Amino acid sequence: MAGVELLAERYKGRRGIRRARRALSLVDAGAESPRETWLRLLLIRAGFPAPQTQIPVYDEYGQLVAVLDMGWESLKLAVEYEGDHHRTDRRQFNKDIRRAEALADLGWIDIRVTAEDTEGGVIARVRAAWERRACNVGAISINSPP
């Protein structure tokens, strides 16, 4: 990133530099797949604040329960992209069931997105969860997305 930023600074007036700077502002090293990046950028374009990526969640005993793809820790609202292996790998599927139960017990809303979801459907689900959670949390000063 630092090298790319230096190049953008060196070639200030060049064609495409403004777009390159915009792209650089959207980079997040926390993405673990191209689909996670797609999902994060979809949320940002929809007006949500940039989500934190790779959020560790611990239980009451300090044990790591999950590392969430992205979300807003202050709202306990997560959005995760589920690749096909979450469905086809029996061990992963069973692990995901226990993980979902543990997250729910800890008060998290975990929205799981797959390749079958439409952009509008994802945005609607996240917006509905955001509104439910923001109403319940109340004191958190995060602007509601459009």
Tell me the CATH number for domain 31-137: 3.40.960.10
Domain coordinates in residue numbering, the chain: 1-30, 31-137
Edge-first strand listing for the sheet containing 77-81 = 52-58, 64-72, 77-81, 109-113
In the predicted model, what is the mean pLDDT of the chain? 85
Asked if 102 and 59 count as a contact pair (C-beta separation under 8 A), the reply is: yes
Alpha-carbon span 127 to 134, nearest angstrom: 10
78 dihedral zone (left: phi>0; alpha: psi -120 to 50; beta): beta
The verdict on pTM exceeding 0.85 is no
31 dihedral zone (left: phi>0; alpha: psi -120 to 50; beta): beta
By residue count, the chain amounts to 146
Tens of pLDDT along 70-93? Answer: 999 999 999 999 976 656 678 878
Q: Does residue 130 surpass a pLDDT of 50?
A: yes
Alpha-carbon span 130 to 4, nearest angstrom: 35
Tens of pLDDT along 44-61? Answer: 999 999 999 999 999 999
Mean pLDDT of the 32-43 span: 92
DSSP 8-state class, residue 74: G
Q: What's the confidence (pLDDT) of residue 30?
A: 72
H or E stretch at 67: strand 64-72
